[in-house]
Amino acid sequence: MNNKSRKDVENAADDLALIRRMMEAGRRRAGIDGSHMIIWGALLMIGFFAQYASVVGYIPPAMLMIWLPIFIVGNALSIYVGHKHKKRSNCDSLSLEAYSSAWATIGIGAIIYFGISVLTGAFDPKTMALLSSALIGGAYFVIARITKIKSLYLVVVGWWIVLSYFSMPMPFDHESLLIMAACCALLILLPGQMMRRAQDTPLPEVKD
């Protein structure tokens, strides 16, 4: 094989590798666009602000009336978005399944604790904050691994810092609710919007 033929083969291999990377990026973007983060970030932020307003007396005490609709709406929207993305991607992507499962784990874990603790009168807001921080941090770790977006590891560290903070021996007061609301805005909603913007960015074209 002469030098020209060898060079043509190498160029063809490089082009094939580029196309494969673009297809994988497109497949990953087809289902993982931050929609779940935007949904849950907004709903949880609203929920913590509403609970804060209830604790300080701006609105009547109604914890169940605050969080029950949030869980129902959040899970309904998550299921709808998950089916929509799976249909749009037109493939059974392992990355998409892992992404959806990570958020489903958060919802299931939170609902189990919230439901049983409220029914038995053992609900503890600090325990809920610890559980949520651990679950969300774990979910972001999975998402960072499957999307290869290194900046998401900063979000993971952020939630682990929140987990460490609330693990210290101190009361969970109304200011803690504001902290959780801010964390939901900065560590769920904002990354979701950034991923949505990245998803809308066109992929590079293959040049002749």
**171-181 pLDDT tens trace:** 999 999 999 99
Residue 94: give the domain boundaries. Answer: 44-200
- In the prediction, which pLDDT does 31 show? 54
| Tokens (6 digits) for 168 | 């210290």
Q: How high is the pLDDT of residue 204?
A: 47
State the pLDDT confidence band at 80, using cuts at 50, 70 and 90.
Answer: confident
Please give the residue that has the higher pLDDT: either 101 or 20: 101
- Using the Cα atoms of residue 101, residue 27, residue 83 and residue 154 in order, give the sign of their dihedral: positive
Tell me how many domains the chain contains: 1
Tell me if 28 is assigned to some domain.
no
Report which of 184, 170, 86, 94 is spatially closest to residue 135, judged by C-alpha positions. Answer: 184
pLDDT band for position 206 (cuts 50, 70, 90):
very low
Tell me if 11 is assigned to some domain.
Answer: no
- Domain assignment of residue 69, yes or no: yes
- Give residue 96's pLDDT: 73
Q: Is residue 144 part of a domain?
A: yes
The answer as to whether 106 is a domain residue is: yes
